[in-house]
Amino acid sequence: MKNKSKTIFVCQQCGHTSAKWLGKCPGCESWSSFQEEIQSVKDLRKKSSNLSIKSTPLLDGKIEQYQREKSNFEEFDRTIGGGMVPGSAILIGGDPGIGKSTLMLQLMNGINENKISLYVSGEESHSQILMRANRIGATNKGIHFSNETNVENLLNLFSNLKPEIIIIDSIQTLYSSEIDSIPGNISQLRMCANELLRYTKENGTTLFLIGHVTKDGSIAGPKVLEHMVDTVLYFEGDNQYDYRILRSVKNRFGPVNEIGLFRMSEIGLETVANPSELFLENADHQNSGNAVTALLEGNRTILIQVQALVTKTQFGNPQRTATGIDHRRMNLLLAVLEKRCGKPFAFYDVFLKAAGGLRIDEPAADLGICMALISSFEDKPLPAGTVYIGEVGLNGEIRNVNRLGERIKECLNLGYKNIFAPSVPIKIKDVNIKVVKNIQELQ
């Protein structure tokens, strides 16, 4: 069978291919993302062999029960659904220096020493990894290390060592000798990831792939890698804060949008058992513009403080600044307050922030945001020990939110006994739930 080669152009953002170079990718609409690659094409004109292919009735099969492997991180196990599934591939992305390598090394250190694990790094030397291991107090003798970046050589190493857990740091540094292109492009990512996944499924090994992120925060080559693996995790954080959030955005063996919370310290990452206490640690209840709301992150309820600052504008166009809150959502709520409550925000600068650096994406925080804005506008502090939960509609109505009962229970656990909500889902002693149907009732 003859092999032919041809030149193609591949988008490095989404993997779209073209016979000629394009300035703008028609798939993801990114500019100057096409790179020239040489593709080997096999002559498939010969007839395929007559193989007997059989199918199996779907309902006659048996559901395989997965025996999950627990780690030393309860927050990590929570994020991936209760533990690591043998034969699964997990992709972890995050900004440089956020702590991905530290997280993986601490994960390996907590595994039973009788189980062999392999850490493959194409970015750091043995000495650099050893320094990090000493910093976190690693003692596991079952951890092995390799600097190899050729995927064919790595497969031979896997066959000889037979590790139960493999960590690749990072997938963008690997390359295959069968592809004539530099490491990190779409073709190399697809080839290397496919070979690693095939070995993982055949041998029941747990595979972790650490991936770089692009300037917009997504994993490099997202359409290629995220569709191939079983689980996709994002490791998020802010340089101004010491906590880190591990978020599940895809999981074939567990829930999505689940989060795990960690705190970065001098000896590595430490788990945070109660996130609400962390985000409300320095909550201000004495000044105006502060309101507390309850969010749902996966299966967990988190209480967070929303801060607003409303001042008379000094220019013709008022400023609108939001940190941790969608800017369009803020403008929508300002329009509702101005139209339905008569607050002239058009003549005021508005600054809005989610305290602690957490990003608020849930509509259930609308009522808390509105109350923070009204409090700052009127320069009157809100009552201490009060939580505001509810979605605000365009007519000013307060709409119900899902799992309101769980949010109220978390408020009670943290000592918040005055709750404004659109309904009363449960009856709890010593809790004052005030039903609000319209934003005008809270003026």
List the CATH number of the domain containing 370. 3.30.230.10
Instruction: Give residue 411's identity as a one-letter amino acid code.
Output: C
20 and 108 share one domain: no
Asked whether residue 239 is domain-assigned, the answer is yes
260 and 319 share one domain: no
Asked whether residue 300 is domain-assigned, the answer is yes
CA–CA dist 136, 340 (Å, integer): 55
Asked whether residue 63 is domain-assigned, the answer is no
36 and 127 share one domain: no
Helices (H), 248-293: 275-279
78 and 174 share one domain: yes
130 and 267 share one domain: yes
Identify the domain boundary among 273, 306, 330.
273
- Of 357 and 73, the structure prediction assigns the larger pLDDT to 73
Is residue 53 predicted with pLDDT exceeding 80? no
Asked whether residue 47 is domain-assigned, the answer is no
The residues, any chain, with a CB within 8 Å of residue 114's CB and separated by 6 or more, are 142
Asked whether residue 321 is domain-assigned, the answer is yes
Question: Residue 207's closest CA among 133, 268, 117?
Answer: 117
Q: What is the pLDDT of residue 214?
A: 59
The residue to which tokens 């020990």 are assigned: 385
Pair of tokens at residue 211: 């991936």
* Banded pLDDT at 147 (limits 50, 70, 90): very high
262 and 289 share one domain: no
Question: Residue 155's closest CA among 134, 138, 133, 177?
Answer: 177
92 and 144 share one domain: yes
**For all residues of the chain together, what is the average pLDDT?**
86
Parallel, antiparallel, or unpaired for β 17-18 and 3-11? antiparallel
* Residue 118 dihedral angles phi and psi, to the nearest 5°: -125, 125
Asked whether residue 60 is domain-assigned, the answer is no
In total, how many domains does the chain have?
3
Q: What is the pLDDT of residue 222?
A: 47
- Summarised one tens digit per residue, pLDDT across range 318-341 is 999 999 899 999 999 999 999 999
Arithmetic mean of pLDDT, 210-223: 61
252 and 338 share one domain: no
Q: What is the pLDDT of residue 20?
A: 85
- Summarised one tens digit per residue, pLDDT across range 106-122 is 999 988 888 899 999 99
List the CATH number of the domain containing 201. 3.40.50.300
Is residue 98 predicted with pLDDT exceeding 80? yes
Asked whether residue 292 is domain-assigned, the answer is yes
Is residue 218 predicted with pLDDT exceeding 70? no
* DSSP single-letter state for residue 66: P
291 and 256 share one domain: no
* Banded pLDDT at 44 (limits 50, 70, 90): very low
- Is pTM beyond 0.95? Reply is no
Identify the domain boundary among 273, 294, 328.
273
261 and 402 share one domain: no
Q: What is the pLDDT of residue 439?
A: 92
Domain that holds residue 320: 278-442
28 and 124 share one domain: no
Q: What is the pLDDT of residue 3?
A: 56
- Summarised one tens digit per residue, pLDDT across range 264-318 is 888 889 888 788 877 887 777 788 999 999 998 878 889 999 999 999 998 888 9
Q: Is the peptide bond before 170 cis (omega within 30 degrees of 0)?
A: yes
Identify the domain boundary among 273, 302, 323.
273
Arithmetic mean of pLDDT, 247-256: 89
Is residue 48 predicted with pLDDT exceeding 70? no
Is residue 38 predicted with pLDDT exceeding 80? no
Q: What is the pLDDT of residue 226?
A: 85
- Summarised one tens digit per residue, pLDDT across range 379-395 is 999 998 999 999 999 99
How would you label 3-22 residue by residue, b for 16+ Cβ within 10 Å and e otherwise? eeeeebbbbbbbbbeeeeee
Q: What is the pLDDT of residue 33?
A: 79
CA–CA dist 285, 201 (Å, integer): 54
190 and 312 share one domain: no
Q: What is the pLDDT of residue 165?
A: 94
The residue to which tokens 């593709």 are assigned: 39
Pair of tokens at residue 123: 């970015």
Parallel, antiparallel, or unpaired for β 268-271 and 300-312? unpaired
Question: Residue 300's closest CA among 278, 283, 322, 281?
Answer: 278
Asked whether residue 10 is domain-assigned, the answer is yes
| Burial class of residue 223, CB neighbours in 10 A (0-12, 13-18, 19+) | middle
Instruction: Give residue 99's identity as a one-letter amino acid code.
Output: G
